[in-house]
Amino acid sequence: MNAVTDTETRRLLSGNEAVAQAVWEAGVTLASAYPGTPSTEILEVLGTYPDVTAQWGVNEKVALEVAIGAALAGTRAFCAMKHVGMNVAADALMSQTLAGVNGGLVIAVADDVGLSSSQNEQDSRYWGRFAHLPVLEPADAQEAHAFTLAAFELSERFLVPVLLRLTTRVCHVKTLVEIGQRQTIEPRGFIRDSRRWVMLPGNARPMIPAQFKRDDALRAEAETSPLTTEWKGTNARIGVVASGPAALSAREALPDAPLLKLGFSHPLPVERIKAFAAGVETVLVVEETEPLVEQELRAAGMAVTGKDILPRNGELSVAVLRQAGATVRGETLPVPAATTAPADVFPRPPTMCPGCPHLSPFYCLSRLRNSVLVSGDIGCYTLGAGQPWNAMDTCTCMGASLTLANGLALAKHGDDANKAVVAVIGDSTFLHMGMQGLLNLVYNRANVTVMILDNRSVGMTGGQEHPGTGRDLYGNDAPRVDLEALVKALGVKPERVHVADPYQLPELFKLIRTEIQVPDVSVILTNQPCVLTDRHKAHPALMVDEDKCTGCGNCLAVGCPAIQVVRRGERVTASGEVKALSFVRIDSAFCTGCNACVGPCGPKCIVPQGPAETAGQAVGG
């Protein structure tokens, strides 16, 4: 994605791409973010535009504070994150919204409605109420572009950050978008005013009445905002009040119903909604996911229906809204015609990639399953909770593996009293929020073994860079943190810090088994890059000597999807029962030659492919 040409007026863009385009057009100087689906691509695309400095922050709080700094300097700034990231950034958000900003500041928060790739389903519109922020809700990519531009104008007019609430459907669905040229914005310059920018109680207290006054002005703005639109409809039996993509679903499901689409959804334009409601019999409030608008309208004395007939979780599809409309009208929808039954296919749960350096650590932990409690974290390695490893007992949020492990180690009892506690975390997650947890483990003399799985990328969201990769967002060389030195600097004893090649599985297993028996904080750092990045170097693919394979299945426990089970015949038992004979085969198109499956192989029948002279060549590492 590049800057628009002089003659170009439309592009096919996703919502994320449209936001990035609008940020560039708005004359933004600095954009920062931490990667997280569904918001990741916004900053990645911004990194391809000229005249904007785009930076990955080590976490969302840091990213927001960097953007706030730029806005205080009087330039336009932008920050992006997924919904759970706002929880991390809230400390900075709640204070800065009281003081306001100098230059325009827009914060895009992408809610993962339906939990496509998140640990919870969170409604970020609450932050508008909680932090006294205006909230804009685009419904598609075209609106994502237009609302982003409007958000910067609104931010500078009211000197307040503006929240752009996106959802997965807006972020990832493409449509044609009207685009423009980059604006030239004259920086306002930093305004030295310690009574405003230094958030001491004596300074902050007088700002609260001003914040309430600003709320009133924003409420008046929302009442007449062109970002909120109305379709008249032809049947006043039901009038729909909706926002975001759910508004488009409502229009499709109830095409004859009047619809008030809230683009500027907070402060809520109550008087405008009352005027709309006066022209219909029943008001149906359609919102994803929490009943915020519904509750505020009821508090304002309006009789509305909403979550009493609509689900409080997941996307509101056309079918769901069509049924809701029938319920309001007292109708019964016809049962849809029977469709062809879905094919009976083998389930395919998410799994790690062939050759993933996380395969071996979780294989080792699965072999120690009866003697360890494993506290996990957020990343690709969260899949270690599934088959065939079943080697993760907890996973809450970024960085919680170490802190939960602290509590587990202190409070375990009964059947778990003699089990060791292992915390598993990735490199990006450790830098995001894990360092404090390790410091806490050391300070409190916890008995925990920490495994930092360093794959040199933010693997879960597509291989983005971070301070431990040695590159910045643009791919340029950048200072790379030395995780081994960092761990020691946080207080872990040097003799308890180990760097291990995860592809040398027997050695890794021995190391883990040794360290969990040591009554102290110990750290094991694995050191192989993600197989999907250019840092990974593949080795000759492996193959199975079928004449030697006994079908023991030990290699399957590693969990590599390149290993397949193949049936090769039948045998009759002494009791006359016919049983299938199987062996394994390695798909050379996927195999990276990592060597992880060689160690568990009982008959030692897994060997490198190729000429005989390469048979003894070391693979992996």
Ligand-binding annotation for 171, yes or no, is no
pLDDT at position 344 = 73
Higher pLDDT, 79 or 3: 79
17, 41 Cβ separation under 8 angstroms: yes
Ligand-binding annotation for 353, yes or no, is no
pLDDT at position 612 = 45
pLDDT at position 339 = 62
CATH number at residue 238: 3.40.50.920
Q: Is 273 helix (H, G, I), strand (E, B) or coil?
A: helix
pLDDT at position 121 = 86
* Choice among 142-151, 379-388, 440-449 with the minimum mean pLDDT: 379-388
| Shared domain check, 154 and 198 | yes
Q: How far is the C-alpha of 554 from the C-alpha of 258, rounded, in Å?
A: 63
Q: Which among 193, 224, 255 is the end of a domain? A: 224
pLDDT at position 617 = 38
Ligand-binding annotation for 364, yes or no, is no
| Shared domain check, 212 and 116 | yes
Q: Which among 201, 224, 247 is the end of a domain? A: 224
Residue 351 placed within a domain: no
Nearest 5°: phi and psi at 81? -165, 165
Mean pLDDT (the chain, rounded): 91
What does the pLDDT look like over 28-39, one tens digit per residue? 999 999 999 999
Q: How far is the C-alpha of 495 from the C-alpha of 508, rounded, in Å?
A: 16
pLDDT of 1 strictly over 70: no
Residue 337 placed within a domain: no
| Shared domain check, 172 and 291 | no
Q: Is 377 helix (H, G, I), strand (E, B) or coil?
A: coil
pLDDT at position 620 = 41
Q: Which tokens is 490 given?
A: 């946080």
127, 133 Cβ separation under 8 angstroms: yes
What does the pLDDT look like over 172-211, one tens digit per residue? 999 999 999 999 998 999 999 999 989 889 999 999 999 9
pLDDT of 616 strictly over 50: no
- Name the band, by pLDDT with cuts 50, 70 and 90, for residue 548: confident
Ligand-binding annotation for 356, yes or no, is no
Residue 334 placed within a domain: no
Q: In a 10 Å sphere around its CB, with 0-12 CB exposed, 13-18 middle and 19+ buried, how is residue 350 labelled?
A: exposed
Higher pLDDT, 350 or 125: 125
Residue 344 placed within a domain: no
What does the pLDDT look like over 113-123, one tens digit per residue? 987 888 888 99
- Which of 97, 210, 103 has the alpha carbon at shortest distance from 157? 103
pLDDT of 103 strictly over 50: yes
**Average pLDDT of 503-518?**
95
| Shared domain check, 420 and 469 | yes
Residue 343 is given by DSSP the state: P
Largest CA distance in the chain: 91
Domain total in the chain: 4
| Shared domain check, 178 and 247 | no
Q: Is 153 helix (H, G, I), strand (E, B) or coil?
A: helix
| Shared domain check, 256 and 201 | no
DSSP result, 154-210:
HHHHHTS-EEEEEEHHHHH-EEEEE--PPP----------HHHHS--HHHHTTHHHH
Residue 303 placed within a domain: yes
pLDDT of 6 strictly over 70: no
| Shared domain check, 236 and 220 | no
pLDDT of 230 strictly over 80: yes
pLDDT at position 336 = 65
| Shared domain check, 150 and 24 | yes
Q: Which tokens is 457 given?
A: 């990328």
| Shared domain check, 298 and 246 | yes
Q: Which tokens is 503 given?
A: 């592809």
CATH number at residue 453: 3.40.50.970
- Name the band, by pLDDT with cuts 50, 70 and 90, for residue 338: low
**Average pLDDT of 108-115?**
90
Angle between helix axes 245-253 and 318-329 (nearest 10 degrees) is 60
Q: How far is the C-alpha of 237 from the C-alpha of 246, rounded, in Å?
A: 20
478, 471 Cβ separation under 8 angstroms: yes
Residue 191 placed within a domain: yes
Q: How far is the C-alpha of 150 from the C-alpha of 228, rounded, in Å?
A: 12
- Name the band, by pLDDT with cuts 50, 70 and 90, for residue 575: confident
What does the pLDDT look like over 127-162, one tens digit per residue? 999 999 999 999 999 999 999 999 999 999 999 999
What does the pLDDT look like over 282-298, one tens digit per residue? 999 999 989 999 999 99
Q: Is 123 helix (H, G, I), strand (E, B) or coil?
A: coil
Q: Which tokens is 282 given?
A: 């029943």
Show the CA angle centred on residue 188, arms to residues 184 and 194, nearest 5°. Answer: 155
| Shared domain check, 572 and 462 | no
pLDDT of 573 strictly over 80: no
HEC assignment per residue over 90-122:
HHHHHHHHHHCCCCCEEEEEEECCCCCCCCCCC
Q: Which tokens is 293 given?
A: 């608008």
| Amino acid identity, position 483 | L
Q: Which among 196, 224, 252 is the end of a domain? A: 224
| Amino acid identity, position 188 | R
Q: Is 151 helix (H, G, I), strand (E, B) or coil?
A: helix
Q: Which tokens is 598 given?
A: 């060689």
Residue 116 placed within a domain: yes
| Shared domain check, 102 and 176 | yes
pLDDT of 455 strictly over 50: yes
Residue 420 placed within a domain: yes
Question: Residues for the chain: how many in total?
Answer: 621
pLDDT of 519 strictly over 50: yes
| Shared domain check, 412 and 276 | no
DSSP result, 5-66:
PSS--EEEEEHHHHHHHHHHHTT-SEEEE---TTTTHHHHHHTTSTT-EEEE-SSHHHHHHH
- Name the band, by pLDDT with cuts 50, 70 and 90, for residue 427: very high
- Domain coverage including residue 246: 229-329
Query: How do strand 105-111 and strand 162-167 relate by DSSP bridges?
Result: parallel
pLDDT of 618 strictly over 60: no
Ligand-binding annotation for 555, yes or no, is yes
- Specify which of 302-316, 536-550, 602-616 reaches the highest per-range mean pLDDT: 302-316
**Average pLDDT of 230-245?**
94
Q: What percent of the chain lies above the pLDDT cut of 90? A: 73
DSSP result, 315-381:
---HHHHHHHHHHHHT--PPPPPP-PPPP--------PPTT-TTHHHHHHHHHTGGGEEEE--SSGG
* Choice among 255-269, 346-360, 528-542, 587-601 with the minimum mean pLDDT: 346-360
**Average pLDDT of 572-594?**
81
Q: How far is the C-alpha of 131 from the C-alpha of 125, rounded, in Å?
A: 10
